[in-house]
Chain A
Amino acid sequence: MSKLVISSIGPASSVQDGGRHGAQRYGLMPSGAMDRLALAAANCLVGNPIFAAAIEIGPFGAAFTAREGVVRLALAGAPRSADITGRAVVFDTSMTLADGETLTLGFARGGSFSYLAIEGSIEGEPMFGSLAVNARAGLGSPYPRPLQAGDELQTKPASGAAERRIDLPAATAGPIRVLMGPQDDEFGDAAKQLFLDNEWKISATSDRMGYRLEGPVIKHLHGHNIVSDGTVDGSIQVPGNGAPIVLMPDRGTSGGYPKIATLISADLGRFAQIPAATGFHFKAVPMAEAQAEARKYWKTLRALPNRLRAIESFDLNIEALQDANVAGSAVSAVDAVTWQIASGADVLTPD
């Protein structure tokens, strides 16, 4: 048995997988990775099932040390500087940590969450088929809480397979696409237009339950209370203060504020990666387009193994390596002081 010891880690970092589904009718939030494509890519690199449990690393730096054996890893998601005992490593590749070696990661750049997959995944006791951490429900394994320095993740010894890289599809740029509704009729045309035209920013008081948006006040037509109904990942609810909140995988399963629009599922991961204080726009799309994008997204996920490539020494992306080497000084727009757990009553009380 090998293990990966957390030498240091920032907040908003936890074990996540594809989430636990099927019990939302009992109030059990699904949780799971904020960026599923990145989780899947990391897992794919080390030969795991795409939604196996991996480490979701928040915007801050982290360090991991192999103990009692060799551990094979892969990194994907928000880029950041990475080195193994001074030797730079790049994202979207697999890598091997010898017993006692440490992988050190800097702050996330141009994103919020990176994924560190471990060959053989993480040993734990699944609940509803998932190891995903949901601190509020006391769920998650091996630790039912965010990771802390000193935590140890048990895993299988490295297989010694050749290292690989993955050619991911080019990131989709452009606005975050939404379907209007289910309660867009609670808003007037001017409010809906403002929602679509305005440049939004993600507040630093955001977390895995919800991303609060900073921008103009979106006014309701008939007040801000509706009778609670079900929520999905990407529901955009507008509470009494008119500041929209995009619900994320640790959301409550029901909510009592009107939902003006819903992110399309293909854009959830891309949205989750937008760093705090970076401007972005929403764009309304028709259902047919949203569903076509959803099908394309799943096709991409399933076909990820076809994108694996062998790494040859001269095949290394020198530019990426240089980039990683100098990136230690770059930091995310989110800073350690303002990144905090949202605690306002607007997302946190039963309706």
Chain B
Amino acid sequence: MVPTLSPPRILPSGDSAITVEFSRNIDDAANQRVLALDRALASEPVAGVTETVPTYRSLLVHYDPVQIEFDTLGEKLTALAQRPVPPETKARRWRIPVVYGGEHGIDLEDVAKTLKTTPDEIVARHVAGDYRVAMIGFTPGWSYLSGLEKFLHMPRRQNPRLLTPAGTVSIGGVQAGVQCLAGPSGWHLLGRTAVRTYQLHRDPIFLLEPGDHVKFCAVDAKTFAEQDRAAEAGEIIAEQIAL
């Protein structure tokens, strides 16, 4: 008999979506199950399911109540979610260049001070991390990464900034992030990347998928400026590297 995992909670999000909740916390094992259920629904589509949205700890499954009822879909999702998590086979790994500190990462000095170390060590630790895209949300391409080492865990800012630059690479709580568009954020800004995780008229429009792996590398301001021009012209800039 194939061992099965504990059942997730099946929570209604209105009459046309189900939240399949694996954990209430940021939990890597739960996120693996979220992504596994997402892959299962992609490879074995359930009629009536219209869209799925992975998050850290739950999968939001949008469906058409004309085609399938809550109870029926809930049972199917419960069964699919209890299958053992298959090993990741198609995960991609990206290297994303970042210009750290100065005008590009205005919180780097303060983060170093708070953690009683030097900006260089913060950069070295951030670059050493092996991250996974746990979810993409908030605004187009805003990629939430798991895998931030404990040393870099820091509460978010008391006062969120109303505007942070496009391409900001930041940390907040136990998470790391890459944002695409300029916008508000309460996270600590370490640097910027020229990589557009979302760019219209480029193929692909969205670069990262939930489940992708990400590593960062440091570049200087001149390289960033060159990469930024190339990215504006539609280049992907991020390098895909072997797992």
List residues 41-89 of chain B with CB under 8 A from any CB of chain A: 50-60, 62, 65-66, 69-71
Set of chain A residues within 8 Å of B118, measured between Cβ atoms:
none
Set of chain B residues within 8 Å of A287, measured between Cβ atoms:
12, 15, 70-71
Asked whether, in the complex, the Cβ of B51 is within 8 Å of the Cβ of A24, the reply is yes
* Distance in Å: Cβ of A37 to nearest Cβ of chain B: 16
* Distance in Å: Cβ of A268 to nearest Cβ of chain B: 9
Q: Determine the distance from Cα of A26 to Cα of B186 in the docked complex, in whole angstroms.
A: 20
Asked whether, in the complex, the Cβ of A295 is within 8 Å of the Cβ of B14, the reply is no
Q: Determine the distance from Cα of A294 to Cα of B25 in the docked complex, in whole angstroms.
A: 32
Asked whether, in the complex, the Cβ of B140 is within 8 Å of the Cβ of A27, the reply is yes
Asked whether, in the complex, the Cβ of A254 is within 8 Å of the Cβ of B53, the reply is yes
Say yes or no: A253-B65 contact (C-beta < 8 A), given A181-B11, A230-B55, A287-B70. no
Set of chain A residues within 8 Å of B59, measured between Cβ atoms:
230
Q: Determine the distance from Cα of A280 to Cα of B46 in the docked complex, in whole angstroms.
A: 38
Q: How many chain B residues touch A (Cβ–Cβ < 8 Å)?
A: 56
Query: What 0/1 pattern do residues 177 to 192 of B give for CB contact below 8 A with A?
Result: 1010101111100000
Asked whether, in the complex, the Cβ of A182 is within 8 Å of the Cβ of B210, the reply is no
Q: Which residue of B lies closest to A264 (CB)?
A: B15
Say yes or no: A136-B139 contact (C-beta < 8 A), given A25-B52, A227-B26. yes
Q: Which of A138, A226, A229, A294 contacts B60 (CB 8 A)?
A: A229
Asked whether, in the complex, the Cβ of A265 is within 8 Å of the Cβ of B14, the reply is yes
Query: What 0/1 pattern do residues 1 to 35 of B give for CB contact below 8 A with A?
Result: 00000000001111111010101111000000000
Q: Which residue of B lies closest to A228 (CB)?
A: B55
B136 is an interface residue with CB less than 8 A from chain A: yes
Asked whether, in the complex, the Cβ of B183 is within 8 Å of the Cβ of A136, the reply is yes
Asked whether, in the complex, the Cβ of B19 is within 8 Å of the Cβ of A230, the reply is yes
* Distance in Å: Cβ of B236 to nearest Cβ of chain A: 15
- Pick from A22, A27, A345 the residue with the most CB of B within 10 Å: A27
Asked whether, in the complex, the Cβ of B15 is within 8 Å of the Cβ of A291, the reply is yes
Asked whether, in the complex, the Cβ of A234 is within 8 Å of the Cβ of B14, the reply is yes
Set of chain A residues within 8 Å of B243, measured between Cβ atoms:
none
Q: Which residue of A lies closest to B74 (CB)?
A: A287
Q: Determine the distance from Cα of A222 to Cα of B160 in the docked complex, in whole angstroms.
A: 22
Q: Determine the distance from Cα of A24 to Cα of B51 in the docked complex, in whole angstroms.
A: 8
A-B contact pairs, 11 of them (CB 8 A): A23-B140, A24-B51, A25-B210, A179-B14, A182-B11, A227-B23, A227-B56, A254-B55, A262-B14, A348-B183, A350-B172
**Given A29-B139, A181-B13, A350-B177; 4 other pairs, CB 8 A cutoff:** A26-B198, A27-B139, A232-B16, A287-B70
Across chains A and B, which 3 residue pairs bring their CB atoms closest together, nearest first?
Answer: A230-B60, A254-B137, A262-B14
